[in-house]
Amino acid sequence: MTKRKGLTFSHMGFYVHDLERMAGFYADVLDFTVTDRGHLPTPQGRVELVFLSRDPEHHHQIVLASGRPETLAFNVINQISLMADSLQTLQEFHTRLQQAPVSDIQPVTHGNAVSIYFRDPELNRIELYVDLPWYVSQPARVPLPIELPHDELMAWAEQHARTLPGFRPREDWQADMARRMGIGA
């Protein structure tokens, strides 16, 4: 499918309290590699930076920056989402997260994807997910029995999705979106 011209999302950066702890978390638990690190002078003072990536074609996908204020009335990061390459990978990460310094682990389905939400060591919400081969109208969110064997979990997810409004093949939804975005399929 043709993609919209002009921009492609590349990476994100966010401020952290404990740069070393957070770099270790993203490297050890989520398998990112530290690609570079250093500091920059800014109008607010010196900022330490750690660049991380899971893809050798991208110097960084996440940048961690020192200097997150100790007290914030509200965490403006709604979620940081990472796509898994398979349902099995998602299930493997669910097992790994049970032993990681995370909190609030919630496996869910959105009907068109299955996800694991959790909080990293500084309470930023992370989503690991896999798209499913169908679409349903959003928003949708129900608990997911992620401990089921892969085939049973897929059957459960499809059976549930078929009960939701807008159920249809993902390709049909993608073709509609391409038309709405003014690009060819």
Q: What is the CA radius of gyration of the chain?
A: 19
The whole-number pLDDT of residue 114 equals 97
The whole-number pLDDT of residue 2 equals 67
- Evaluate if residue 185 carries a pLDDT over 60: no
Three-state SS string over 129-150 comes to EEECCEECCCCCCEECCCCCCH
pLDDT in tens, 9-39: 778 999 999 999 999 999 999 999 999 999 9
pLDDT confidence band for 97 (50 / 70 / 90): very high
Structural domains in the chain, sorted by start: 10-69 (3.10.180.10), 77-185 (3.10.180)
pLDDT in tens, 153-166: 999 999 999 999 99
- Evaluate if residue 7 carries a pLDDT over 70: no
